[in-house]
């Protein structure tokens, strides 16, 4: 059934908010690229989203928790790697646009249904 | 958590790196500032960066404090210098130009990395703002 709050929309919403959180964490990592004793943050929403979809539940939108990277640190105790962060930022941006396009398609279906009369 | 958090976090990174650039340019501009031996030499300025609420979500970086190096400097024999003491010595700051140039490059690259994040985040947000228009 197509609705405003169906599983597809909820899943895309959860993905968007998880990706926004990841983009926030990446920005935090890059802002602290020269901060001594700063460990890079990592966030995972995919596994929780996948589990709830596999169990046939409607996914809930929640802010993912931030774990600290265990990569080896530099001499100043910082382990932010700009190469990794750039790749993550690019990938997150593209995934975000992908989810947005899917949501946009969903909404244009709804719009078509509303204009049918 | 705000709507455009990423931009604010990157802006804090820009600010911290700009302050670092300011400190380096202050150090380099005073690298030949002589003082009399009875006074302390120009003290090298250091910026102490600190993560904002590390691990508790808010994110970003701030300059916790500015630290200063030793005022002892190095004493140079320059009898013609008006600041020279009766033995002909003046005090110069003990700042290493190579070290300052390395710091300059690090601060500049950090600034550029934060700018790149702002650029990317702006593009993403712009795509989000087009949602539902198509």
Its ipTM equals 0.76
Lowest mean pLDDT among A13-17, A21-25, A78-82, B130-134: B130-134
- How far CA A71 is from CA of A40, A78, B65, in Å, comes to 9, 9, 28
Q: Inform me whether the C-beta atom of residue B91 falls under 8 Å from chain A C-beta atoms.
A: no
Which residue from A65, A54, A66, A50 is spatially nearest to A14, judged by alpha carbons?
A50
**CA separation for the pair A95, A57 (Å, rounded):** 23
**CA separation for the pair A71, A39 (Å, rounded):** 8
Q: Inform me whether the C-beta atom of residue A87 falls under 8 Å from chain B C-beta atoms.
A: no
Task: Measure A75 CA to nearest chain B CA, in Å.
Answer: 15
More confident residue, A2 or B86: B86
SS3 B47: strand
Characterise B2 by phi-psi region: left (phi > 0), alpha (psi -120 to 50), beta (else): beta
> Mutate which of B2, B6, B46 to test chain A, going by most A C-beta atoms within 10 A?
B6
> pLDDT tens, B46-86?
999 999 877 676 789 999 999 999 999 999 999 999 999 99
Interface of B with A in 12-41 (CB under 8 A): 12-13, 16-17, 20
The confidence score (pLDDT) of residue B131 equals: 82
Q: Inform me whether the C-beta atom of residue A61 falls under 8 Å from chain B C-beta atoms.
A: no
Q: Inform me whether the C-beta atom of residue B129 falls under 8 Å from chain A C-beta atoms.
A: no
Q: What is the number of alpha carbons within 13 Å of residue A41 lying toward its C-beta? A: 26
**CA separation for the pair A104, A98 (Å, rounded):** 10
Contact (CB<8Å) B55/A90: no
> Are B68 and B44 a contacting pair, CB within 8 Å?
yes
Contact (CB<8Å) A27/B117: yes
Global pTM reads 0.82
């Amino acid at each position: 059934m197509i609705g405003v709050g169906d599983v597809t929309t909820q899943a895309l919403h959860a993905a968007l908010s998880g990706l926004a959180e990841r983009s926030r964490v990446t920005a935090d990592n890059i802002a602290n690229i020269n901060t001594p004793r700063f460990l890079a943050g990592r966030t995972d929403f995919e596994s929780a989203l996948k589990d709830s979809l596999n169990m046939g539940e409607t996914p809930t939108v929640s802010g993912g928790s931030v774990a600290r990277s265990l990569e080896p640190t530099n001499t100043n105790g910082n382990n932010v790697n700009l190469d990794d962060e750039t790749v993550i930022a690019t990938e997150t941006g593209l995934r975000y646009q992908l989810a947005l396009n899917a949501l946009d398609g969903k909404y244009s279906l709804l719009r078509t249904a509303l204009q049918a009369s | 958590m705000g709507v455009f958090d990423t931009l604010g976090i990157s802006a804090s990174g820009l600010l911290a790196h700009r302050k670092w650039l300011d400190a380096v340019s202050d150090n380099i501009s005073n690298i030949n500032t002589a003082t009399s031996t009875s006074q302390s030499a120009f003290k090298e300025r250091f910026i102490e960066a600190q993560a904002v609420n590390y691990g508790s979500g808010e994110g970003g970086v701030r300059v916790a404090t500015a630290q200063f190096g030793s005022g002892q400097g190095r004493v140079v024999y320059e009898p013609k210098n008006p600041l020279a003491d009766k033995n002909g010595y003046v005090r110069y700051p003990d700042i290493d130009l190579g070290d300052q140039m390395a710091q300059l490059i690090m601060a500049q690259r950090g600034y550029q990395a934060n700018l790149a994040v702002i650029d990317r985040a702006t593009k993403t947000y712009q795509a989000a703002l087009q949602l539902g228009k198509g």
